């Protein structure tokens, strides 16, 4: 809380928009701004010995700010799902961080296919994507698996309970001999999951230092398929955003291939070539999902048939536009309802005035 008080007046001098969350475990910051201000904030932050070695990933925002405003606040949990109880600062629970170059070597070994058996040649290594499902939908490392969980509080993967074995990539693996390679966008979720798995007895845990964005900056899109999801108005970025010169060297290795099991329309499961999410038009659903043009038209921007009959529907947004904050549409609905009520009242008054003028005067007086 004290750091928030110290940081607030300092940040008011920077042209910065974004989300900066702080607590006793660390800082989770995503922000945009002119290069001068964005880098000046980093240098100021590094003056604090606790953040002296902080790793910062940078990508261009061509249309100005990627966030509508600045949110600077203390949060008991740096990530959604409740992690304040997890001892993230305990060095004994941390996984071994691999530099992007070492990570690439490990991936190439994991994904080396045995020509005879057509199976993964490294059975003692599992590559885990610990991001959210909607992040996985637009891109991930080749050969990766994703636990079917999005909430840290309820996560059960790695426990090998009979009811979760089907969706648990760590079910029945040897906890002492199997290498677990985990990655996420920036590295924070990996620290959380490594602590969870370490407490559950897994010995050989490795993470990608700096996350996917740092890897793409250093190694390019080698072993990566699709785009990288980002938590701002841009939604997803192609690998070329991070390292332009590397794209031609990979001969399109990052492109989505036909028959891929991801990058599919959430509604009809057809293959998509434009990797960009949209929110359900149903204000009370707001699901973030991928959608083809036909389903977008047929369901009027909704994620399912049920949502099309919801009482609070937002207009379908063309192109890459995104919905504004929910309360804007709530207030719009109230305003629309109020206008409709006044129109009905006026209509009623006009009808009454043609019959009994005294009734019309009573309505006007009560109004």
E strand intervals along the chain:
17-23, 26-32, 70-74, 96-98, 125-129, 139-141, 179-183, 204-208, 224-226, 228-229, 236-237, 278-279, 288-289
The string of pLDDT tens digits covering residues 32-91 is 888 899 889 889 988 988 888 888 878 777 777 888 889 898 887 776 655 667 777 788
What is the DSSP pairing of strand 96-98 with strand 204-208?
Answer: parallel
CB atoms within 10 A of CB 191: 24
Structure tokens at 315: 């207009």
Task: Give phi and psi for 9, each to the nearest 5.
Answer: -65, -30
For the chain, the straight-line distance linking the first and the last C-alpha, in angstroms and rounded, comes to: 50
Query: Which CA distances in Å does 247 have to 168, 222, 242, 252?
Result: 34, 9, 10, 7
H/E segment holding residue 365: helix 357-366
Written as tens digits, the pLDDT of the chain (367 aa) is 677 888 888 888 889 998 888 888 788 888 888 889 988 988 998 898 888 888 887 877 777 788 888 989 888 777 665 566 777 778 888 899 999 999 999 998 888 744 334 554 456 899 999 988 888 888 999 989 887 765 544 445 555 555 555 567 888 888 999 999 999 988 788 888 888 899 889 999 999 998 998 899 899 999 999 888 888 778 888 888 777 665 544 444 434 544 455 688 999 999 887 778 889 999 999 999 999 999 999 999 999 999 999 988 998 887 777 887 777 776 665 455 444 445 554 444 433 333 333 322 232 322 2
Residue 69, phi-psi category: left (phi > 0), alpha (psi -120 to 50), beta (remainder)? beta
What angle, rounded to 10 degrees, do the helices at 211-219 and 100-110 form? 90
Q: What is the pTM of this model?
A: 0.73
pLDDT for 102: 96
Of 125, 184, 295, 303, catalytic: 184
pLDDT for 164: 52
By CB neighbour count within 10 A (0-12 exposed, 13-18 middle, 19+ buried), where does 254 fall?
buried
Reference 99, options 55, 50, 39, 147; nearest CA is: 55
pLDDT for 250: 45
pLDDT for 327: 73
Reference 185, options 214, 144, 206; nearest CA is: 214
184 is catalytic: yes
pLDDT for 307: 95
What is the DSSP pairing of strand 26-32 with strand 96-98?
Answer: unpaired
144 Cβ contact list (under 8 Å, min separation 6): 127, 128, 129, 183
By CB neighbour count within 10 A (0-12 exposed, 13-18 middle, 19+ buried), where does 207 fall?
buried
Euclidean distance between CA atoms 357 and 335, whole angstroms: 30
pLDDT for 306: 95
Query: Which CA distances in Å does 179 have to 120, 168, 169, 210, 340?
Result: 14, 16, 13, 19, 63
């Amino acid at each position: 809380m004290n750091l928030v008080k110290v940081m607030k007046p300092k940040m008011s001098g920077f042209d910065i928009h974004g989300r900066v969350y702080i607590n006793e475990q660390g800082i989770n910051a995503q922000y945009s701004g002119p290069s001068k201000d964005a880098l000046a904030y980093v240098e100021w932050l590094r003056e604090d010995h606790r953040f002296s070695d902080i790793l910062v990933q940078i990508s261009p925002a061509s249309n100005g700010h990627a966030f509508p405003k600045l949110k600077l606040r203390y949060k008991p949990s740096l990530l959604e799902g409740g992690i304040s109880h997890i001892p993230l600062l305990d060095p004994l629970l941390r996984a071994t961080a691999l530099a992007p170059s070492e990570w690439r070597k490990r991936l190439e070994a994991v994904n080396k296919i045995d020509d005879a058996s057509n199976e993964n040649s490294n059975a003692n290594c599992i590559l885990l994507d610990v991001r959210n499902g909607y992040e996985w939908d637009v891109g991930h490392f080749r050969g990766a698996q994703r636990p079917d969980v999005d909430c840290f509080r309820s996560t059960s993967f790695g426990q090998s309970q009979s009811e979760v074995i089907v969706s648990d990539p760590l079910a029945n693996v040897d906890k002492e001999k199997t290498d677990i390679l985990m990655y996420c966008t920036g590295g924070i979720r990996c620290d959380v999951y490594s602590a969870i798995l370490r407490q559950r007895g897994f010995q050989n845990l490795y993470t990608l230092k700096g996350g996917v964005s740092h890897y793409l900056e250093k190694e390019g899109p080698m072993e990566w398929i699709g785009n990288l999801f980002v938590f701002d108005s841009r939604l997803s970025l192609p690998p070329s955003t991070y390292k332009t010169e590397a794209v031609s060297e990979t001969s399109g290795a990052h492109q989505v291939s036909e028959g891929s099991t991801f990058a599919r329309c959430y509604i009809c499961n057809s293959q998509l070539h434009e990797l960009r999410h949209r929110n359900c038009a149903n204000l009370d659903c707001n699901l973030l999902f991928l959608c083809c043009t036909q389903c977008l038209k047929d369901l009027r921007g909704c994620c399912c048939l049920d949502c099309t009959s919801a009482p609070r529907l937002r207009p379908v947004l063309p192109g890459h536009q995104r919905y504004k904050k929910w309360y804007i549409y709530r207030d719009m609905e109230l305003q629309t309802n109020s206008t409709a009520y006044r129109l009905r009242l006026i209509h009623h008054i006009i009808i009454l005035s043609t019959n009994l003028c005294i009734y019309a005067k009573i309505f006007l007086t009560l109004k």
